[in-house]
Chain A
Amino acid sequence: MDTAAKKKLGLKEKYRLLTRDLGWTPSYRTHEEIHPYLTYEGIKIHDWDKWEDPFRLTMDSYWKYQAEKERKFYAIIDAHAQSNGHLNLTDARYLSAIKLFLQAISPNEYCAHKGFARAGREFVGVGTQVACQMQALDEMRHAQTQIHAMSNYNRYYEGFHAFAQQRDRIWYATVPRSFFDDAMTAGPFEFMIAIGFSFEYVLTNLLFVPFMSGAAYNGDLATVTFGFSAQSDEARHMTLGLECIKFMLEQDPDNLPIVQGWIDKWFWRGIRILGLVGAMMDYMLPKRVMSWREAWNIYGVENGNALFRDLARYGIKPPKHWEDAEKSIDHVPHQFMLALYQWNFGTAFHTWIPSDDDFDWLSKKYPDTFDRYYRPRWEHVKKLAAAGTPFKNVGLARLCQCCQLPCIFTEPDDPTLTCHREVVYRGETYHFCSDGCQHIFENEPEKYIQAWMPMPALFREMQGNIPQWMDWVGMVDGKDNHDYVGSQDEKNFNQWRAMAASNSL
């Protein structure tokens, strides 16, 4: 009997032993048969072993680590539910941001899961496969914890119940859906740039960090908890995305123009979605942490510049439409919120006219744009509401064929003029919200002409029958939609809070 104590394995050794069997040499199938999608995108790889997984996390430590986080997460979620945590919110207006998050973001965490599971299968190289597999699990966990955290609100408030079908059907949720569909139908390398790099590296910072601070500021313990629980994964995800870029660039000089093209494309696709986060931060949070402009300066400009300085040694330039993005920052949150308000008969969350205090805050945070361009519109909207004829724009909207957003954006150098761009492709006219989106279309028109666009579809599939459409998207008219003022959410929240804080019944 061997009684000598076995030496405990070091992490590196353990990782090697746990992953070595993934790197077998096939005997009766060719390498190309097993990995059929590695070359058609044009990326040239000479040595897969050069892609190192810097975290070297083994599955057993991964499970242990995530399980600990889950225990903490569910303990807090339970406590939040049992102590009527929803009544600690600053105001139920805040929940519009959360509804939008649940309808438009959480289901796409699940898409990220599917995408990484596929990337892990398609890539060669043990380190890569393991890193993708773990990220696939993370993304599934994020979808799940987000849905669980927000499900408490579904017991008390409107607009939470149909998020899963809304993701595919409702006109604003199809925007991130289109982003993910585009990524998931790309090759594995482009997918890594789209999600691993653009979504994780460029966008998650702007989505999660300031947004989660917003949740904390507004008393939403449930959302803060999933934010924290996800944050430690994000560091790993960002590293994976960045590793992938550097790996491609180091492997062959021919990869540079392809990678640059993807960075240009996915930066712009990301920026378009991010505008929604701007509206959430500047308008939907009753108590605001920082403006969208301030968040952009820190997480977009500072972090972005550092990143692109780092990538400059490979020949990578900042994304093509960076300047247009910068010019749009002081406009986009206002453009989005005015749009969401005038179409609020078709949103499964409430919007409202900002208060005079809000106007002053916005004017202070956006000294060059709010008073000049947006306050006059809001004042007029306020006048219409006071006259008993609240502004409902029933004209619906021209959508951008690329990002699928309504074309609410103005010319980069003229904020008084809508940006009109159109292209004729194989005899059919296509419209875009910006040069960025038009260029993406022109690079791959066949990909976007097949897109399911929610506004045309309303007429093609339902001949414009709005009640039928509402049933189909799971929206309860008069409950989920319209102005917050006068809504059931407002009435309930105020009543329950009064009951919790006083003796009135």
Chain B
Amino acid sequence: MAVKSTKQYVFDHQDAVEGFHGNQLVYASWDRHLLFAAPFLLYVSPSMTFRELVEGPLTALIQPDPDASQVKWDEVKWLKANQPFTPDFDATLAGNGIHHKAMLRFDTPGLNSLAPKA
């Protein structure tokens, strides 16, 4: 649906990738690990490899969770835009199709120290 307006009402995307100095935003979230209140916002270069993203900022950010040290990145299940996704760890973010504001989710079944016991 369109906005009801008295004249033409068209705007640019305020947060389009062009405004981010050659970098981009990527969102990442560890499923069922709600110690972290919201999905992380990462400001990264599209030429960064997936491995660099995971072993760099992502590994650092999840450290406060008691399960962090047991995460085996090569066994993690990934979702991109909520769809199953198999990353190429040595390809860049751009090469993995991880565009500006893409949402990455990762699941580590069996690791859930702070989640309620069934």
Contacts and interface: CB of A to CB of B under 8 A. Distances in A.
24 contacts: A36-B6, A187-B4, A342-B37, A372-B116, A391-B35, A393-B37, A395-B40, A397-B37, A398-B38, A398-B40, A398-B41, A406-B37, A408-B37, A416-B34, A416-B115, A418-B38, A420-B29, A426-B13, A428-B13, A450-B11, A453-B15, A456-B15, A456-B25, A456-B41
A317 interface: no
Contact of A455 (B10, B14, B41, B99): B41
A41 B4 contact: yes
B101 A397 contact: no
A335 interface: yes
Contacts of A417: 31-32
Interface of B: 1-6, 9-16, 19-21, 23, 25, 27, 29, 31-32, 34-43, 61, 64, 66, 81-82, 99-103, 105, 114-116
Interface string A334-378: 010011001100000000000000000000000000001100110
A372 B115 CA distance: 8
Contacts of A447: 3
A11 interface: no
Contacts of B115: 376, 416
Nearest to B40: A395
Contacts of B100: 429
Contacts of B101: 428-431
Contacts of A380: 35, 66, 114
A134 interface: no
Contacts of B1: 442-444
B89 to A, nearest CB: 21
Given A373-B116, A460-B19, A460-B20, A338 B37 contact: yes
Nearest to B10: A446
Nearest to B114: A376
A418 B40 contact: no
Contact of B27 (A187, A335, A398): A398
Interface in A450-493: 450-453, 455-456, 459-460, 463-464
A418 B116 contact: no
Given A429-B102, A460-B15, A396 B41 contact: yes
